[in-house]
Amino acid sequence: MSEILIKTEEQIEGIRQSGQLAGSALVMIGDYIKDGVDTDYLDKLIHEYILDHGAIPATLGYSGYPKSSCISLNEVVCHGIPSKETVLKPGDILNIDVTTILGGYFGDTSKMYTVGEVTNSAKKIIDVAKHCLDLGIQQVRPGNQFGNIGFVIGRYAKANRYSVVYEFCGHGVGIDFHEAPQVDHIARRNSGPMMQPGMIFTIEPMINEGRATTKVDKNDGWTARTSDGKLSAQYEHTILVTPDGFEVLTDVTGEYK
C-alpha cells in the first residue's frame, strides 16, 4: 500500500494546468456531438486538441489501451473504445473521459452528452450522476474521511432507486495516472483515510439504472457494460484538498468557484 501523496505548490500548479486542459477538451468536443458522427472521429479531434496544447493523452498506450479518450455509450459503464463502427444516433447518452499529461502532470475528467432528444429516464440518470459527483465534492475538506464521499453518493443514488458501480473507483492522480488512495463511490460513513491539504484525487461515480454489476467485453478486454444492459451515467473531476475545503482542478466553467 503506497502513501497518499501531499503535492507541493509547484506540483499543484502543474496538475491544475493539466486539469484545465482536460476540462477544455470536454468543452471543445461538445460542439461535435451529433447524430451520424462516429466516436473514432471524436477521439481524433480530442487527440489533436491535446497535442496542439503541448500535452499527451494519458490513455493512449496505457496498459495497451489504444485510444486518446474513453467514449462510453448508453449501457457502457466506462472504458468504451472509440471506433468508426460506433455511430451516434438520436436518443444516445454518452460519457467522454479525457486524461491529459501536461508537463508531466495528469488531469482526469469526464462528463455526459446527449444526442438529439433523449428519454426522461435518460435525462434523470444523467442528472442524478452529476448530483452524486457534486455531493461527493462537497465532502472534500481537511479532516474528513474518504468514506464519507462514497457514503453520500450511495445514499443519494439509493434514494433515486439507482445503484452505484463498485468495481471501478476514483483514485489519487497528478504525478501518476492512478495513485493511492482508491476512492470508493459507495462506502460506510466515517471510514477510510483522512483528507489532508495537498491531496489530489478524482471522484467519478458511475450510476446504474439497474444492477450495479458490470461485465468487461471478452473481445476487446476494456469495454465495461452493465450486466443487465440498462443505462449507466458518469461524471468525473480532479479535486484538490485545500486548507478550507476543495478546488475542482478540472472545472473550466467556474461552476464550483
d(CA 232, CA 210): 9
Q: Does 100 bind Co ion (CB under 5 A)?
A: no
| From ligand MF3, Co ion, none, interface partner of 50 (C-beta below 5 to 8 A by class) | none
Angstrom CA distances, 151 to 38, 157, 190, 248, stand at 37, 10, 8, 20
Task: Please select the residue that binds ligand MF3; options are 47, 79, 111, 225, rule is CB under 6 A.
Answer: 79
Among the residue ranges 48-56, 101-109, 153-161, 205-213, the one whose residues contact Co ion (CB under 5 A): 101-109
Q: Looking at beta carbons only, is 46 or 70 nearer to ligand MF3?
A: 70
Task: Please select the residue that binds ligand MF3; options are 17, 74, 86, 99, rule is CB under 6 A.
Answer: 99
Among the residue ranges 39-47, 60-68, 140-148, 208-216, the one whose residues contact ligand MF3 (CB under 6 A): 60-68
Which region, left, alpha or beta, applies to residue 193 given φ > 0 means left and ψ of -120 to 50 means alpha?
Answer: beta
Task: Please select the residue that binds Co ion; options are 202, 208, 232, 250, rule is CB under 5 A.
Answer: 202
Task: Please select the residue that binds ligand MF3; options are 6, 62, 89, 221, rule is CB under 6 A.
Answer: 62
Question: In whole angstroms, what separates CA 37 from the centre of its chain?
Answer: 22
d(CA 31, CA 103): 27
Q: Does 47 bind ligand MF3 (CB under 6 A)?
A: no
DSSP 194: B
| 221: Cβ contacts below 8 Å, ≥ 6 apart | 64
Q: Looking at beta carbons only, is 58 or 140 nearer to ligand MF3?
A: 58
Site size for ligand MF3, by CB under 6 A? 13
| From ligand MF3, Co ion, none, interface partner of 79 (C-beta below 5 to 8 A by class) | ligand MF3
Q: Looking at beta carbons only, is 24 or 99 nearer to ligand MF3?
A: 99
Angstrom CA distances, 41 to 37, 46, 48, 81, stand at 7, 9, 11, 12
| 230: Cβ contacts below 8 Å, ≥ 6 apart | 75, 208, 209, 210, 211
Q: Looking at beta carbons only, is 17 or 59 nearer to ligand MF3?
A: 59
Q: Looking at beta carbons only, is 41 or 65 nearer to ligand MF3?
A: 65
Closest alpha carbon to 252 in 72, 107, 37: 107
At its nearest, how many Å lie between ligand MF3 and the CB of residue 90? 27
Task: Please select the residue that binds ligand MF3; options are 65, 83, 166, 180, rule is CB under 6 A.
Answer: 65
| 154: Cβ contacts below 8 Å, ≥ 6 apart | 164, 185, 186, 187
Q: Does 108 bind ligand MF3 (CB under 6 A)?
A: yes
Q: Looking at beta carbons only, is 7 or 67 nearer to ligand MF3?
A: 67
Beta carbons of 95 and 72 less than 8 angstroms apart: yes
Identify the bridge partners of residue 171 per DSSP, sorted by sequence position: 182
Which residues contact Co ion by CB under 5 A? Answer: 97, 108, 202, 236
